[in-house]
A and B are shown apart, each in its own frame.
Chain A
């Protein structure tokens, strides 16, 4: 798993590549905690290069969503496809993170 963060005004794009699972989700946690601590207003999680996600990875993103929303911000997801899309659709989270799609 690799990730990169790009800030532009109030928006942050967090791009996560590879696999986000029980092994790698803990590696992403500090970056997610930083977004919450900095009270970023809009966080877009770009998953266009994410190959695989499991329930631990979903849990990390849901945790980010809850905490950013609690601070008055919002979290969106872009680029979902293949296996990660299947998981988000199964859990009906695509409607939460990609409203109107």
Chain B
């Protein structure tokens, strides 16, 4: 398991995304290049980080952004923990795809690119999981099985 904790401030965004990107490399043979899997994991995880820094710690001194990353040969799980304001993902505003939104896209991106569960508490725990499927990103497979 990979463990990382940084202050929940945006200036650490590049650090945590580099760790997630590097972890994605462990889910594929060394000879293969970054692909949709990596792009989607980094996108979703980046939105999770933004959420904690911008909304979770709004109006209070920022606590930590902690993540535990489990890597398997064909999957990755990122368990994000913070002590900020919690949120109810079921109350997240819907997103009319193709509409011209300027905000409110983060949870939609997380949910679309990865399996997502959230448990509010001390700490809040957000779990993002993605499985690699040969020849396709997880998102494509989910769409086909609906």
Chain A residues packing against B (C-beta within 8 Å): 19, 21-23, 52, 54-56, 58-59, 62-63, 65-66, 82-83, 86-87, 90-93, 95-96
Contacts and interface: CB of A to CB of B under 8 A. Distances in A.
Contacts of A95: 98
23 contacts: A21-B50, A22-B54, A52-B17, A52-B46, A54-B46, A54-B50, A55-B50, A55-B109, A59-B101, A62-B101, A63-B102, A66-B102, A82-B34, A82-B39, A86-B39, A86-B40, A90-B112, A91-B98, A91-B101, A91-B108, A92-B97, A93-B98, A95-B98
Given A55-B103, A59-B101, A86-B36, A22 B50 contact: yes
B42 A83 contact: yes
B13 interface: yes
Nearest to A22: B50
A23 to B, nearest CB: 5
Chain B at the A interface: SS class: helix
A33 B46 CA distance: 26
Closest 5 interchain pairs by CB?
Answer: A92-B98, A55-B105, A83-B39, A59-B102, A86-B39
Interface string B24-67: 00000000001010011011001100100110000000000000
Contacts of A65: 100
A91 B54 CA distance: 21
Nearest to B97: A92
B50 A83 contact: no
Contacts of A83: 39, 42-43
Contacts of A55: 47, 50, 103, 105-106, 109
Contacts of B112: 90
Nearest to A55: B105
B11 interface: yes
A50 B101 CA distance: 21
A50 B122 CA distance: 37
Interface string B5-18: 00000110110010
B43 A86 contact: yes
Contacts of B36: 86
Contact of B105 (A19, A63, A91, A96): A91
Contacts of B97: 90-92
